[in-house]
Chains A and B, each alone.
Chain A
Amino acid sequence: MAAFGSFALIIALALAAYNLLAGALALRLIATGQPARISPERLADTARRAGIAGFAAITAAAFALVWSVFANDFSITYILEHSNRALPAAYKFAALWSGQEGSLVLWAWLLGAYGFVLRLTHKTDVKLYAYAGVILAGIQVFFLAVLNFAAPPFALLKGVIPEDGNGLNPLLQYPEMVIHPPILYLGYVGFSVPFAFALGALMMRYPGEKWIKITRVWTMVTWLFLTCGVFLGMHWAYAVLGWGGYWGWDPVENASLIPWLTGTAFLHSVMMQEKKGMMKGWNVGLIFSTFLLTMLGTMLTRGGLVSSVHAFAESSIGNWFMIFMVIVAAVCVFTFIYQRDHLKNEQQVESLVSRESSFLFNNLVLLAVCFVIVWGTLYPVLSEYIEGTKVTYDAAWYNRVFVPIGLFLIFLMGVGPLLPWRSTSFKSIRRNFVLPVIALWVVVIGCVIAGVRPWHDGVFDQGHFYALVAFGLAAGVLTAIGSEFWRGAMVIARQSRRNYFWAVLQLIRRNTRRYGGYIVHIGVVIVVIGLTGSAFNRSVEKELTLHDKLIIGPYTLEYVGPTQDTNANYDSEYAQLNVYRGGKNQLQMTPGKRIYLVSGQPQTMVAIHSVIGWDLYVVYEGTNPDTGQPIIKAFLNLLVSWIWGGALVMILGTLVALTPQRQGSEIRGQGSGLTALEVGKL
């Protein structure tokens, strides 16, 4: 299979190169009108079909690699290093993305799959799709060149072939790891598509903003995958790493968040371009940056630029990425400058207090957060390069900077929907802001009464202060969004004389994008409430003898003895703990440790009991070598389940926003026969 896989990768590279060169030549011939021996449109079509054929070739290569994993073909170095005979079948799939070469195959395959769909649907706008297809082919050439020349996945082992492989990294042997990397990659790779459309539209001086409508679904689906990927990564870190937290500002975690932030900014500001013809240059800059940041993220995770607990593949392909990023940046900057007159705005922001300006501020804050994270992530590399000493920012630094900016962002999220387009009057502000402000103060006062106070015995408590602000803002934002639903539904309920819940459904169907977006905002607020809970977390560590007890919050944990288990892949040992609450035995928890037989690597198995208010999170830290007694660390992590619940609401909101809305189809169907006045009355 190694020969077949290598051959398939060479074919894929040749087809991608043909797609790029023939496609670019055809577009050039069409743009200049130069006579040619072959019809440029025929040439462009062969380029498009080469793109589709290239996807088949990469699929064949990916299939060959997966086949080799399942066939335990340890003559292939990659399989030897990332799999073993006893590895369960699901994790054999995970071996595809557990190492650098395999994950690059996945990258190229996903890009091929996106390109396949794009090229099949090219009749939507043949010329724009031809430009986008050529740009995607350019990206594909880079990844296939890396796979063929710098990181070949089918490289053969020299010498004697071992009986068994080295096994998969224990950290990756967790169910979520079977879906987390591909989903994250779907998000990373997916941003190549809106990037290709934006660059193509700029190169061809696409008239109007319809390209945004064409790419909207691509952008939102990509953003959805990236969101799912980020949250799955958080959950994996929480459930597997055993340190009691879910986000440690690790470079690889940051790498997934950075393009998410610019992608989020793009999703907001692109609405201004679509609706008002504003922020054209800004949007192009944002999507260019987002694509480059996904490349940076891939370089961080796969290129060995920074060290991380999540960077499962370290190597020296960073230089390849660096050169590619420089080339992409040069092409983007040149096109941007060359076509800058095409990016002139049709309207300007009229007032600082308007929805337009709130979008602008939202973008600036998201970019500020992004800059902080990029700076913090790359600072160890820069400091080592400039000063010779690696200086790393810790989580406390990120929290100090990120928390106030993040809270301001939440504030803007509440303000934005309440502001009308263009400009607003004081009367309008008073009318729209009364309820959210009341809700904010009611919650702040309620929290202070409940004991969330920024001062304890005359000492300022920053954690509680931020928690108070976050809870207050969350209440204000939820009320603001709720009032948007309430007012809109009341209009429909009055007109249709139907009940309120029916009216809410009609309201959402009428403008799925806006109200789906509001549902996403509700999800973000729920996530923020969950994150705020960390201000109240507590933990206890204790060495326990038989029937010894450990008390944390409302729980008493009693150690009732050890237990062991073994299978072909690993040995495990557990501490059995009876958990009491209010004197009643509620459940038994069994935190443990695994020792993987092939690699000899240990892995913590955390036990988590989750309720709506908190998680009881218990870690077995091994035994004291002197006494032989188990050491147990228990955490009471507040509101963690709100984070996962909020993420689900965000996903639901995005799915709603992706649903075709009635408003657009009605307008399209009726628009040609209606005057502006008549439409205004709809």
Chain B
Amino acid sequence: MTETQGFIAGGLLLVALLMYTFWPENVFASQSEKTRLEYLLERKDQLNENLRDLNFEFKAGKYPEGDFETQRAQLESESARLMAEIEILQRA
């Protein structure tokens, strides 16, 4: 490829890429803020996963009964707080 051919090929590449970049599109994804409700639902999923892990590890004999009950109570009360707020937001 000669220098001139190289520049012509480069010019064609430039035109193609500019057309791709600036071609007027009417449909594009909008940038929405995550709502509080979406955030709480994510947290709820995570808490559920933590509870499920705790329960499984207890069944596997990793926790004594007392430790398990304490930790489950903590996770459940945290989960109850979340559920209450989720319900309020969902009603609203």
List residues of chain A with CB under 8 Å of any chain B CB: 1-5, 7-8, 11, 15, 18, 30, 41-42, 44-46, 49-50, 52-54, 56-57, 60, 122-123, 126-127, 130, 206-210, 274-276, 418, 420-425, 427-428, 431-432, 487-488, 490-491, 511, 663-664, 667-668, 671-672, 674-677, 679-682
Contact = CB atoms under 8 A, between A and B. Distances in A.
Nearest to A50: B21
28 contacts: A4-B7, A5-B6, A7-B10, A41-B31, A53-B17, A53-B21, A56-B17, A123-B29, A126-B30, A126-B31, A127-B31, A208-B39, A210-B42, A276-B50, A420-B62, A421-B71, A425-B64, A427-B64, A428-B64, A432-B62, A487-B61, A491-B60, A511-B53, A667-B48, A675-B83, A677-B76, A679-B52, A681-B55
Given A41-B31, A663-B52, 5 more contacts: A4-B10, A56-B17, A421-B54, A675-B83, A676-B47
Contacts of B48: 667, 671, 674, 676, 679
Given A41-B30, A53-B20, A491-B59, A60 B13 contact: yes
A657 B45 CA distance: 20
Interface of B: 1, 3, 5-7, 9-11, 13-14, 17-18, 20-22, 25, 28-34, 36, 39, 41-57, 59-64, 66-67, 71-72, 74-76, 79-80, 83
Contacts of B14: 7, 11
B61 A667 contact: no
Contacts of B20: 49, 52-53
Contacts of A210: 42
A659 B51 CA distance: 22
Contacts of B30: 41, 126
A476 to B, nearest CB: 17
B76 A44 contact: no
Contacts of A511: 53
Residue of A4, A8, A206, A208 with highest tally of chain B CB at under 10 A: A4
Contacts of A50: 21
A274 to B, nearest CB: 7
A676 B6 contact: no
B8 to A, nearest CB: 9
A682 B75 CA distance: 15
Contacts of B29: 41, 45, 122-123, 126
Contact of B42 (A208, A491, A682): A208
A579 B5 CA distance: 61
A424 B10 contact: no
Nearest to B76: A676
A677 B71 CA distance: 13
Contact of B75 (A54, A122, A663, A676): A676
Nearest to A9: B10
A679 B51 contact: yes
A569 B14 CA distance: 40
Contact of B22 (A46, A488, A674, A675): A46
B71 A4 contact: no
Contact of A4 (B1, B55, B61, B64): B1
Given A41-B31, A682-B52, A431 B61 contact: yes
B64 A680 contact: no
Contacts of B1: 1, 3-4
A591 B53 CA distance: 55
Nearest to A276: B50
B87 to A, nearest CB: 12
Which are the 5 A-B pairs with shortest beta-carbon distances?
A7-B10, A3-B6, A676-B79, A4-B6, A487-B60
Contacts of A663: 49, 52
A4 B71 CA distance: 65
Contacts of A44: 31
A275 B66 CA distance: 22
